[in-house]
């Protein structure tokens, strides 16, 4: 009799678990990109959403919520229902924002659950072909000798490209003219 009750209890538990489980996703998933449309993060999000939509059998839409170095979009996701239907696609700026902003409208460690790494993007230096430096050693020497003539552009204050530029200037002990853009990928 005990064996029957245990078997019945186990069976009932499994059925209850199956009955309470829901298929996911049952509705559109919104992917918040905390930057303007047309930039690199947006491009990656749209490519991933297209592929994931096919795999999941559900549409994923991209919503660009740019501003404040990605913190506006992150705040929107932090305030969303924790049901998996509003997700954030961010980059290293999510990890660095806590050091760059005095007060964030969310807790970077506790208000988000990591899902996974989508891509790894190296930062590169690019200049016109007529630029005098042809390698990194020549670039450093040129920048140090011509700091008033050299500028570097980035995707905005707090962006990965901004932070990499700051690290570069620190490493070469030379301050260059910084040109932050409002939105990456846009003129």
Instruction: Report the SS3 class of residue 165.
Output: helix
Q: What is the per-residue pLDDT for 64?
A: 97
Q: What digits encode the pLDDT tens for the residues 172-182?
A: 999 999 998 76
Q: Residue 8 has what pLDDT?
A: 41
pLDDT at 124: 86
Q: Which fold has domain 136-180?
A: D-Maltodextrin-Binding Protein; domain 2 (3.40.190)
Token pair 């990499």 in the structure block, residue = 164
Average pLDDT over residues 121-143: 92
pTM assigned to the model: 0.72
Read off the tokens for 39.
Answer: 């930039």
Ranges for all domains in the chain classified under CATH 3.40.190.10: 136-180
> Please, what is the angle between helix 160-172 and helix 136-145, to 10°?
70
Q: List, in sequence order, the alpha helices (H) in the chain.
A: 2-20, 40-56, 71-79, 93-100, 136-145, 160-172
In the structure encoding, which two tokens stand for residue 157, read together? 């204050």
* Of the candidates 110, 91, 57, 111, the residue with the CA atom closest to the CA atom of residue 163: 91
Q: What is the DSSP letter of 112?
A: -
pLDDT score, position 21: 62
Q: Lowest-pLDDT range, 23-27, 85-89, 157-161?
A: 157-161
Q: In terms of C-beta density within 10 A (0-12 exposed, 13-18 middle, 19 or more buried), how is residue 79 classed?
A: exposed
Of the listed ranges 1-5, 12-16, 167-171, the least confidently predicted one is: 1-5
Question: What are the residues facing 30 on neighbouring strands?
Answer: 61, 86
Q: What does the alpha-carbon distance between residue 18 and residue 33 come to, in Å, rounded to a whole number?
A: 34
**Has residue 72 got a pLDDT over 90?**
yes
Average pLDDT over residues 62-82: 94
- Candidates 162, 31, 178; CA nearest to 100 is 162
Torsion sign (Cα): 131, 127, 97, 93: negative
Q: Where in the chain is CATH 3.40.190.150?
A: 29-100
Q: Which stretch of 1-10, 66-75, 87-96 has the lowest confidence by average pLDDT?
A: 1-10
Segment 91-115 shows an average pLDDT of 91
Residues 71 and 4: their CA atoms lie apart, in Å, by 56
User: Model confidence at 184, in pLDDT bands (50, 70, 90)?
Assistant: low
Identify the architecture of domain 29-100 in CATH: 3-Layer(aba) Sandwich (3.40)
Q: Tell me: the pLDDT tens digits for 32-69?
A: 999 889 888 999 999 999 999 999 999 999 999 988 88
State phi, psi for 86 to the nearest 5 degrees: -130, 115
Q: How far apart are CA 127 and CA 150, in angstroms?
A: 10
How many C-beta neighbours within 10 Å does residue 101 have? 14
């Amino acid at each position: 009799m005990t064996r029957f009750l245990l078997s019945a209890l186990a069976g009932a538990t499994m059925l209850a678990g199956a009955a309470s489980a829901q298929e996911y996703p049952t509705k559109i998933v919104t992917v918040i990109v905390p930057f303007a449309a047309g930039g690199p993060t947006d491009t990656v999000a749209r490519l991933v959403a297209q592929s994931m939509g096919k795999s999941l059998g559900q549409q994923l839409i991209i919503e660009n919520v740019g501003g404040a170095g990605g913190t506006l979009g992150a705040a929107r996701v932090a305030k969303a229902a924790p049901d998996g239907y509003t997700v954030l696609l961010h980059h290293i700026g999510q990890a660095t924002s806590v050091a760059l902003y005095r007060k964030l409208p969310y807790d970077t460690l506790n208000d988000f659950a990591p899902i996974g790494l989508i891509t790894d993007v190296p930062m590169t230096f690019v200049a016109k072909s007529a630029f005098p430096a042809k390698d990194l050693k020549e670039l450093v020497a040129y920048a140090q000798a011509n700091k008033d003539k050299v500028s570097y552009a980035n995707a905005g204050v707090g962006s990965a490209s901004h932070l990499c530029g700051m690290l570069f200037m620190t490493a070469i002990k030379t301050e260059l003219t910084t040109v932050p853009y409002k939105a990456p990928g846009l003129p």
